[in-house]
């Protein structure tokens, strides 16, 4: 009986502690929630979580306090997310699948932030990785012969010359490459349930994994752009140099393969040999998707300008 009384007492105490946040505080002044218009006696509205307006909220110092609080909160999650993305591949995907939302920035916002950083780096260094100017499509790509025919037909239809059309294309292709870069995520996502069908992961897990992979790749591209910019600073040709371009491409491929090997092991499991075989397929697929994206952006830009 004594043991039963203790259990009941603990249960009642736990229940009381859970309800404490909804009980009115002693001496608390009633206030009207500005969102749901309920009369409230607790520090926060139990319906929507709103809090009462105070004097500092309508002063400049209160505005700055909220600004710095929001900035520090976002930065801490963002920095933690980027750090774990690079140092512990696959951890963010696994955390998302297991329901851990609060410690990390979501996969889509994280991807968009990396996208902004990547295109800012391209603008600062005047380089292009995921998009190419018209001359490059016409003379330096694997599809140059096809591009020449398509551009010639398009110019004839539009009654324009190459000299007048090239600046229009070159400006539009940069915008399209920025806004449509998430298209690269889709084909890679479709590969994952085929390669890891035994893992029985929900399809959303494959999408999140792909978003984290391409977020990592955007940061990796930023590193490559920085290396190329330093080379230009010391008199080199940067990405216009074939040896430099080849070396950076191989480094990207190797880094992508290492990331995929670690991340897939953490998210999907599997033994080392089979996982290595799958990575030998997935890593070149990433490079192929990048080339395909450039061609798709060329077509979209060509027929929208």
User: Does residue 61 lie in a domain region?
Assistant: no
Query: pLDDT tens-digit profile of 102-122?
Result: 889 899 999 999 998 998 888
User: Does residue 33 lie in a domain region?
Assistant: no
Q: What is the pTM of this model?
A: 0.75
User: Does residue 19 lie in a domain region?
Assistant: no
Q: What is the mean pLDDT of residues 146-171?
A: 92
Residue 249 pLDDT greater than 70, yes or no: yes
Confidence of residue 8 (pLDDT cuts 50, 70, 90): very low
Residue 283 pLDDT greater than 90, yes or no: yes
User: Does residue 129 lie in a domain region?
Assistant: yes
Res 28: pLDDT? 60
Tokens at 165, concatenated: 């059309």
List of residues 6+ apart from 46 with CB closer than 8 A: 21, 22, 40
The Cα-based distances of 250 to 140, 253, 262, 267, 279 in angstroms read 19, 5, 19, 25, 15
Residue 2 pLDDT greater than 50, yes or no: no
How many structural domains is the chain composed of? 1
Query: pLDDT tens-digit profile of 26-69?
Result: 446 788 888 888 888 888 888 887 878 777 766 677 667 766 66
Q: Across the chain, what does the average pLDDT equal?
A: 83
Confidence of residue 190 (pLDDT cuts 50, 70, 90): very high
Residue 157 pLDDT greater than 80, yes or no: yes
Res 72: pLDDT? 55
Helix, strand, coil distribution of the chain in percent, nearest 5 = 75, 0, 25
Residue 279 pLDDT greater than 80, yes or no: yes
User: Does residue 81 lie in a domain region?
Assistant: no
Res 17: pLDDT? 41
Res 66: pLDDT? 66
Give CA angle at 216 (133, 78), nearest 5°: 115
- Domain span at residue 242? 107-302
User: Does residue 8 lie in a domain region?
Assistant: no
Among 123-127, 184-188, 207-211, 241-245, the least confident range? 241-245
Yes or no: say if 91 and 71 are a contact pair by the CB < 8 Å rule. no
Q: What percent of the chain has pLDDT above 70?
A: 86
Among 8-17, 35-44, 166-175, the least confident range? 8-17
Q: What is the mean pLDDT of residues 250-264?
A: 94
User: Does residue 281 lie in a domain region?
Assistant: yes
User: Does residue 91 lie in a domain region?
Assistant: no
């Amino acid at each position: 009986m004594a043991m039963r009384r203790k259990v009941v007492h603990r249960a009642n105490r736990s229940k009381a502690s859970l309800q404490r946040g909804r009980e009115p505080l002693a001496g608390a002044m009633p206030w009207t929630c500005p969102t749901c218009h309920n009369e409230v006696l607790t520090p926060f509205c139990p319906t929507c979580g709103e809090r009462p307006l105070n004097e500092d909220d309508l002063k400049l110092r209160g505005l700055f306090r909220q600004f710095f609080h929001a900035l520090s909160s976002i930065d801490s999650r963002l920095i933690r997310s980027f750090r774990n993305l690079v140092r512990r591949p696959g951890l963010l995907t696994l955390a998302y699948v297991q329901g851990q939302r609060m410690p990390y920035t979501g996969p889509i916002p994280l991807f968009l932030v990396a996208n902004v950083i990547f295109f800012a780096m391209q603008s600062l260094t005047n380089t292009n990785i995921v998009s190419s100017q018209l001359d490059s499509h016409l003379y330096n790509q694997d599809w140059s012969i096809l591009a020449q025919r398509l551009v010639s037909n398009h110019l004839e239809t539009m009654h324009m010359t190459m000299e007048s059309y090239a600046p229009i294309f070159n400006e539009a292709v940069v915008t399209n490459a920025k806004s449509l870069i998430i298209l690269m995520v889709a084909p890679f996502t479709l590969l994952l349930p085929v390669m890891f069908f035994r893992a029985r992961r929900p399809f959303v897990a494959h999408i999140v994994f792909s978003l984290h992979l391409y977020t990592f790749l955007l940061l990796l591209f930023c590193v490559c752009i920085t290396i190329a910019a330093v080379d230009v600073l010391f008199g080199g040709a940067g990405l216009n140099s074939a040896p430099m371009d080849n070396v950076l491409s191989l480094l990207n491929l190797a880094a992508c393969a290492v990331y995929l090997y670690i991340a897939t092991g953490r998210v999907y499991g599997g033994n080392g040999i089979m996982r290595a075989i799958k990575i030998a397929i997935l890593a070149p697929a990433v490079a192929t998707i990048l080339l395909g994206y450039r061609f798709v952006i060329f077509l979209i830009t060509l027929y929208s300008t």
